[in-house]
Amino acid sequence: MNIVLITAVFAAILAFVLGVLLGFFKDIFHVEEDPLKGQAREILPGANCGGCGFPGCDGYAAAVAAKTAETNKCTVGGQAVAEKLAALVGSNAGAMIPVVAVPVCQGSPDKAGAKGAYTGLQTCRGAKLSAGGTKLCIYGCLGYGDCTLVCQFGALSMGENGLPKVDISKCTGCKVCIAECPQGVLKAVPRDGKGAFLLCSNRNLVKGAVKKTCKVGCLKCGSCEKNCPEQAITLVNGLPVVDYAKCTSCGTCAEKCPSKGFKFLERDILAG
């Protein structure tokens, strides 16, 4: 009984001494926080999504206060927050172009077959690292939904076709899902974008190989480039790249594409 009592007294004394020392050293090593950081933090929305490239809103607020970061990095707050931050630190916010994430793959399991049975870690990154992917098309969406798990705004979900779908009304354009996807099949496009958009990421230049791996893959035939009346399409590494300054959404590329891979931003993708 005496041992228990002595131990309890000793623990109480030790806790008291440590508390006093902590308070003492706190005062000695206390660093005054830049008041601008606190003001910047109040302006930010508090999403802590990391889309700005900093570890949460606190990290970004500190960088803005130190004038080591531009004030237009918060996609959640948008232009209004950028202008408030700029006014706080006496800089120019610059124009922000709101973007949303768009999946660029139509290779659902019925269109892009599996290489075989996969029993490993049921994540896209796990499948990519352990088996080089699970589909015959090595460029397509793997369908395990890693992107949906990192979206903090409920804008991403897995569709019945095994591919991610984006709720445009909820997407903030933070690009965290884009960074998470090991296949690179999510792209950022302007929220008010217009023009033809290819939903394919297959960069294989061999037409026969594309046909074997995906029924809707871009065949690299060049029909879109040859038939575009505005000369707005150029093949780069086999995939069509659209010059949106020239594209009029006339629909010719979609009509001529044998894979039916072209959709239109304003009509098919961003219409919500």
State the average pLDDT over residues 83-89: 95
Which has more pLDDT, 157 or 4?
157
Q: Could you tell me which residues come within 8 angstroms of residue 240 by beta carbon, excluding any fewer than 6 positions away?
A: 198, 218, 224, 225, 233, 234, 253
Instruction: Write out pLDDT tens, residues 155-193.
Output: 999 999 999 999 999 999 999 999 999 999 999 999 999
pLDDT at 177: 97
pLDDT at 40: 94
What pTM, to 2 d.p., does this model score?
0.82
Q: Read off the DSSP letter of residue 33.
A: P
Which stretches does DSSP call E strand in the chain? 99-103, 156-158, 164-166, 186-190, 196-198, 233-236, 239-242, 262-264
Instruction: Write out pLDDT tens, residues 24-46.
Output: 666 665 556 678 899 999 999 99
Instruction: Write out pLDDT tens, residues 209-254.
Output: 899 999 999 999 999 999 999 999 999 988 899 999 999 999 999 9
C-alpha–C-alpha distance, residues 187 and 81, integer Å? 24
> Rg (Cα) of the chain, in Å, rounded?
26
Share of the chain above pLDDT 70, in %: 95
